[in-house]
């Protein structure tokens, strides 16, 4: 079973202030780094801080904005005029006890470079007294933003708010502490906003906000590449990449395909430029009696990332050509930025470290806290640096880390600092920042083909926001110009955002020279209204895929056509690619509401019994909305509802298991259709009580969580009834249909297994 997330356990501990991360089974917290090797950590002014940076050859770093112009920046969005709307998380860890964390102190401010010298010189406070704000997205008439509790919308008149914020989507944020809540509002190629630590996406529809389910992604920060694929991470993994477009495999929700289209990109080794004692569990060392080392026993530097933060994929024009498409991820605890080479082979992504055992950027300043990265309008890379001594939230802080912070006075000052740095290639040209707010529509269409990804994104965004249909003929024309493949792709999705995507645009892009354009055309075809899909069907049926990627997208696009010819073509694709699990999943997703018709079409001609079983199950659930807790009555239903509230509320189990029990890479295996959940209730309760250490095999797939699942037996606030309710909930949610777990069974097993004293189980303990 996938460990009931670390946050579930840690967030509820009621040990002494700021020591809630202590574990009873971690008896030795002796410091590993010799005291004489640990430098002081004074507050450095920006000029002094610049001297602490070590940057990859050929690059330079300079301030874009520093205090007092900016304070504790953690996220931003650029408007079409090139102004940076910055989220300031004032209130985060004001001292070692998290004092006043629930007092609204955050701000959203606008920074401008009015004299075009590459540095912000004007600050406008747009919104004040926001509780721990975490993301922002700019629209011409307002801003969408996330605070600690809600997804909010407030209208604007220029740089002034109008009226009061309103909840854009109720219950968009369900639970979690400050480190485990929804963040990020990246507006992707497909015109949807995607988030980290979330299984939801959001899109504007007039005065309403549409919310849909999407695979649960990441922990802090989210990014896109040129083709609309998403990139995310968690604290112990630098980067994950999605092979396919978002929701391409989303079809009938009643069938759990158990197919993942994301993978880790590259190893997680870190190479800081200074010793790193200020890591929360740096005491986990063989020298302290543990089985592994967190810190290199020779260099006293962190071995593997423990605080990966907001990533980006470089899509600008300032860096050398070979850097385009590389990923960058900050590590905020050990003060560095990792560069990741992203390579594509067939339908898979892989990663490596292009700088070997060196980092793109390191600092010897322990207060340098890079938490998010962005492509800038001029083609440079923006680094948001909280410049704050304390980076670990109180819910997870151990006694060890508390002492580390206090010993170097990292617990102060609480406010007054923050930096945004700009990294540029020394020999690269910076783009002139144009004002897209006032650009004519025809010029915006031309910008869709610009080599700088920021220009393309903002041009698409502005065209969609304007709803100027005079752009449509120009966009249709651009879809047919092979010299600008990225322009063709953006033209497609601009048409989609305007509600004007049509069969001509699909037909033209299916003929494009660049294979990626046809991939996007097939993806976009799944968004066509019924009449236009009928008109486009001939072009889709005539398309001859040249790459494995194109085959997957073609499989996804054939099902919605729903004709015998389309079914025959899909059958051939499935038979010719019998071992391609992504293609089969895409084909099934496209057959949503056509399961019965396709099953009849292939009767006796198709031997893949697993796929036929999907069709059978899909036909039985097609058109039926899943009802959480369906069929339960009395105490079983009451326990289920209490457990549901704990799962997505105070316990925040979804943080490592996903909102739909689908699992989160590197954090824990799925709960949905897990034998560890639905089989023996005694085994499940034992694991909930004492935790679990990977690796573990669930439904035939091996999972290797990077951290142990902590046992709830050590949490004095989690009573036997609570544990029973959580067990009852996950045993009858999603595809699971197992029985009630009574509280007295937890009480008995707690007593019977008390001798384990916090030692987690292993899979072999249950064989």
pLDDT along the chain (767 residues), means of 10: 36 44 80 96 98 98 98 98 98 95 97 96 98 98 97 98 97 82 96 96 97 94 98 96 96 84 96 97 94 96 97 98 98 98 93 98 98 98 98 91 97 96 97 93 98 98 97 98 98 98 98 98 97 97 97 98 97 96 96 94 90 90 73 92 82 75 81 91 91 86 79 78 92 90 93 81 87
Distance CA 295, CA 276 (A): 8
Give the pLDDT confidence score for residue 619 in this predicted structure. Answer: 87
Q: What is the chain's length? A: 767
Distance CA 515, CA 547 (A): 8
Give the pLDDT confidence score for residue 700 in this predicted structure. Answer: 80
Bond into 415 cis (ω within 30): no
Distance CA 550, CA 541 (A): 13
Tell the burial category of 139 from Cβ atoms under 10 Å away from its Cβ (0-12, 13-18, 19+): middle
Residue span(s) of the chain under CATH 1.10.760.10 come to 634-766
Distance CA 476, CA 511 (A): 14
Q: Scanning the structure block, which residue is given the tokens 């639970």?
A: 175
Q: What's the CATH fold of domain 441-621? A: 1.25.10
Q: How crowded is residue 673: how many other Cβ atoms within 10 Å of its Cβ? A: 16
Residue span(s) of the chain under CATH 2.120.10.30 come to 31-425
CA dihedral 59, 60, 65, 70 (to 10 degrees): 70
> Residue 628 to residues 100, 174, 675, 722, 733: CA-CA distances in angstroms?
37, 16, 20, 19, 6
Q: Please give the distance of CA 480 from its chain centroid, rounded to a whole number.
A: 34
Tell the burial category of 174 from Cβ atoms under 10 Å away from its Cβ (0-12, 13-18, 19+): middle
Distance CA 704, CA 535 (A): 48
Cβ contact 741:685 at 8 Å: yes
Domain 31-425 falls under CATH 3.40.190.80:
no
Distance CA 749, CA 727 (A): 14
Give the pLDDT confidence score for residue 478 in this predicted structure. Answer: 98
Residue span(s) of the chain under CATH 1.25.10.10 come to 441-621
Q: How crowded is residue 682: how many other Cβ atoms within 10 Å of its Cβ? A: 15
Give the pLDDT confidence score for residue 650 in this predicted structure. Answer: 64
Specify the CATH number of the domain 634-766: 1.10.760.10
Pairing mode, strands 84-88 and 106-112 = antiparallel
């Amino acid at each position: 079973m996938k460990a009931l997330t670390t946050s579930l356990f840690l967030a509820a501990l009621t040990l002494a202030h700021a020591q809630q991360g202590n574990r009873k089974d971690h008896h030795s917290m002796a410091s590993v780094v010799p005291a004489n090797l640990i430098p002081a950590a004074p507050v450095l002014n920006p000029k002094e801080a610049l001297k602490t940076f070590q940057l990859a050859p050929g690059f330079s770093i300079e301030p874009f904005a520093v205090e007092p112009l900016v304070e504790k920046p953690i996220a931003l969005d650029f408007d079409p005029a090139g102004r940076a709307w910055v989220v300031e998380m004032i209130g985060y860890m004001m001292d070692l006890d998290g004092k006043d964390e629930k007092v609204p102190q955050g701000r959203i401010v606008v920074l401008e470079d009015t004299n075009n010298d590459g540095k912000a010189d004007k600050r406008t406070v747009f919104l004040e007294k926001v509780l721990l704000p975490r993301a922002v997205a700019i629209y011409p008439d307002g801003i969408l933003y996330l605070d600690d509790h809600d997804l909010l919308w407030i209208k604007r008149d220029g740089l002034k708010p109008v009226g009061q914020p309103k909840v854009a989507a109720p219950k968009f944020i369900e639970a979690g502490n400050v480190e485990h809540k929804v963040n990020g509002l990246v507006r992707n190629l497909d015109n949807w906003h995607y988030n980290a630590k979330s299984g939801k996406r959001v899109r504007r529809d007039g005065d309403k906000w549409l919310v849909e389910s999407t695979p649960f992604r990441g922990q802090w920060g989210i990014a896109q590449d040129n083709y609309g694929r998403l990139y995310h991470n968690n604290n112990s993994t630098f980067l994950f990449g999605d092979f396919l477009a978002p929701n391409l495999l989303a079809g009938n929700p009643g069938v759990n395909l158990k197919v993942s289209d994301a993978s880790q990109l590259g190893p997680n080794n870190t190479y800081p430029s200074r010793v790193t004692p200020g890591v929360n569990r740096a005491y986990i060392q063989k020298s302290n009696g543990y089985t592994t080392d967190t810190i290199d026993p020779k260099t006293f530097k962190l071995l593997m990332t423990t605080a990966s933060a907001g990533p980006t994929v470089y899509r600008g024009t300032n860096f050398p050509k070979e850097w385009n498409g590389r990923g960058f991820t900050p590590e905020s605890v050990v003060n560095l930025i990792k560069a990741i080479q992203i390579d594509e082979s067939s339908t898979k992504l892989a990663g490596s470290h292009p700088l070997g055992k060196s980092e793109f950027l390191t600092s010897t300043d322990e207060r340098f806290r890079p938490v998010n990265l962005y492509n800038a309008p001029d083609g440079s890379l923006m680094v948001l640096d909280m410049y704050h001594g304390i980076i670990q939230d109180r819910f997870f802080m151990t006694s060890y880390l508390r002492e580390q912070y206090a010993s170097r006075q990292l617990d102060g000052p609480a406010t007054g600092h923050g930096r945004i740095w700009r990294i540029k290639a020394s020999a690269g040209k910076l783009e002139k920042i144009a004002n897209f707010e006032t650009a004519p529509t025809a010029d915006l269409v031309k910008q869709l083909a610009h080599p700088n990804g920021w220009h393309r994104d903002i041009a698409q965004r502005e065209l969609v926001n304007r709803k100027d249909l005079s752009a449509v003929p120009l966009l249709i024309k651009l879809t047919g110009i092979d010299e600008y493949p990225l322009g063709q792709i953006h033209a497609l999705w601009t048409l989609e955002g305007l509600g004007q995507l049509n069969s001509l645009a699909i037909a033209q892009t299916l003929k494009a020279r660049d294979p990626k354009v046809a991939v996007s055309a097939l993806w976009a075809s799944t968004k066509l209204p019924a009449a236009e899909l009928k008109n486009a069907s001939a072009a889709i049926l005539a398309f001859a895929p040249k790459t494995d990627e194109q085959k997957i997208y073609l499989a996804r696009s054939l099902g919605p056509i729903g004709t015998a010819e389309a079914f025959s073509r899909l059958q051939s694709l499935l038979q010719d690619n019998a071992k391609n699990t992504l293609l089969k999943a895409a084909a099934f997703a496209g057959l949503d509401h056509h399961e019965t018709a396709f099953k009849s079409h292939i009767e006796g001609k198709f031997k893949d019994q697993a796929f036929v079983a999907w069709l059978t199950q899909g036909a039985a659930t097609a058109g039926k909305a899943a009802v959480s807790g369906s069929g339960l009555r009395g105490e079983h239903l009451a326990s289920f509802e209490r457990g549901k509230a704990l799962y997505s509320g105070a316990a925040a189990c979804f943080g490592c298991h996903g909102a739909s029990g689908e699992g989160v890479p590197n954090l824990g295996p799925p709960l949905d259709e897990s034998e560890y959940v639905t089989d023996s209730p005694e085994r499940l309760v034992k694991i909930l009580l004492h935790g679990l250490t990977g690796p573990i095999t669930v439904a035939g797939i091996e999972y290797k969580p990077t951290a142990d699942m902590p046992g709830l037996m050590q949490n004095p606030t989690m009573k036997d009834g609570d544990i029973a309710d959580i067990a009852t909930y996950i045993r009858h949610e999603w595809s699971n249909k197992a029985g009630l777990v009574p509280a007295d069974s937890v009480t008995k097993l707690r007593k019977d297994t008390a001798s384990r004293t916090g030692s987690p189980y292993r899979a072999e303990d249950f064989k």
